[in-house]
Amino acid sequence: MNTDVPYIMECKNITKRYPSLNQLAIDQVSFQIDKGESLGLVGESGSGKSTLVRCLLMLEKMNQGQLYINGEEIKYTNKESMKILRREVQAVFQNPSASLNPKLKIIDSLMEPLDCQKTSLPCFLKGVNQRNEIAKYLLEMVEIPEKYLNFYPHELSGGQKQRVSIARAISIQPSIIILDEPTASLDVSIQAKILNRLKDLQERLDLSYLFISHDLAAVNFMSHRVMIMQKGKIIDKCNKQDLFLETRHPYTKLLLDVFEG
Ligand SMILES: Nc1ncnc2c1ncn2[C@@H]1O[C@H](COP(=O)(O)OP(=O)(O)OP(=O)(O)O)[C@@H](O)[C@H]1O
Ligand SMILES: [Mg+2]
């Protein structure tokens, strides 16, 4: 690895405490993600995955720790660094219905990041000029027919809405997309389609992902490296080909046993 190039995302010792919880929700979490790398995060319900996501997106204040995006430290108090965070980190959440404004047509939700960010168009949209054409192109990337641009979210299925959320996240070509259980609310047949599409887009656009799930099979499919979280701590980390080694943490082995049925 070229050590002159900063990590796309690096976090050090992120810690989050909720007064009502008698243990830390996030306990000294550190990791790095390279360009084009997909890092999987797996852990049972309540282990702290979504809390970590909210800390990484600065939607919640961490009690301790640092976050760096492309080598820049991100701080609440520094407006310029928060702009970097909003520009370079996008997220797709579990519930597609909650991420689209029910009052906005699909085209307006889809184009919101590009409408707001006054930066130049990402390279994969170069040569596509009008707003309508860009929206059509983005929908095509996630295999949704253009007629849906003028529909409202309630006229789309869960899987279609999630694909719109993915297209929206990709639209400004961020450095990294955080995917917090992106397929958990969907039908099994749709889950596989969406994971395939996400993987394809990642390779095509050289995106980095933090892919989160409690489903080890999905994490194994999507990621180059895997981290295991338990009670707010990262208790194991490895390349995905080393997941099945005998020397893995006992909790990782327990998850693998469940996964293998
Ligand atoms: N706002 C909050 N106030 C107090 N406790 C919270 C808050 N948000 C989350 N928690 C607690 O923090 C812990 C981690 O929750 P979190 O939602 O991050 O888990 P998760 O790994 O994302 O679970 P799931 O797989 O079910 O989505 C849980 O014990 C949860 O009850
Ligand atoms: Mg969660």
**pLDDT for residue 257:** 84
Gap from CA of 53 to ligand 1 centroid (Å): 11
Gap from CA of 150 to ligand 2 centroid (Å): 31
Asked if residue 4 belongs to a domain, the reply is no
What is the count of structural domains for the chain? 1
Q: Structure pTM?
A: 0.94
For residue 214, the ligand 1 atom closest to its alpha carbon is 25
User: Could you tell me the pLDDT band of residue 117, with boundaries at 50, 70 and 90?
Assistant: confident
User: Residues of the chain with pLDDT > 70: what percent?
Assistant: 98
For residue 53, the ligand 1 atom closest to its alpha carbon is 18
Say how far apart CA 115 and CA 131 lie, in whole Å: 9
Q: What is the CATH number of the domain that holds 232?
A: 3.40.50.300
At residue 165, does pLDDT exceed 60? yes
Domain range for 196:
9-260
pLDDT in tens, 63-99: 999 999 999 999 999 999 999 999 999 999 998 888 8
Asked if residue 15 belongs to a domain, the reply is yes
Neighbours of 136 (CB within 10 A): 17
**pLDDT for residue 3:** 59
Read out DSSP for 161-230? HHHHHHHHHHTT--SEEEEESTTTTS-HHHHHHHHHHHHHHHHHHT-EEEEEES-HHHHHHH-SEEEEEE
**pLDDT for residue 208:** 97
pLDDT in tens, 196-238: 999 999 999 999 999 999 888 899 999 999 999 999 999 999 9
55 vs 187: which has the higher pLDDT: 55
Asked if residue 94 belongs to a domain, the reply is yes
Give yes or no for a contact between 57 and 92, defined as CB atoms under 8 angstroms apart. Answer: no
**pLDDT for residue 64:** 97
Asked if residue 1 belongs to a domain, the reply is no
Pocket test for ligand 1, best of 15, 21, 54, 231 (most atoms within 8 A of CB): 21
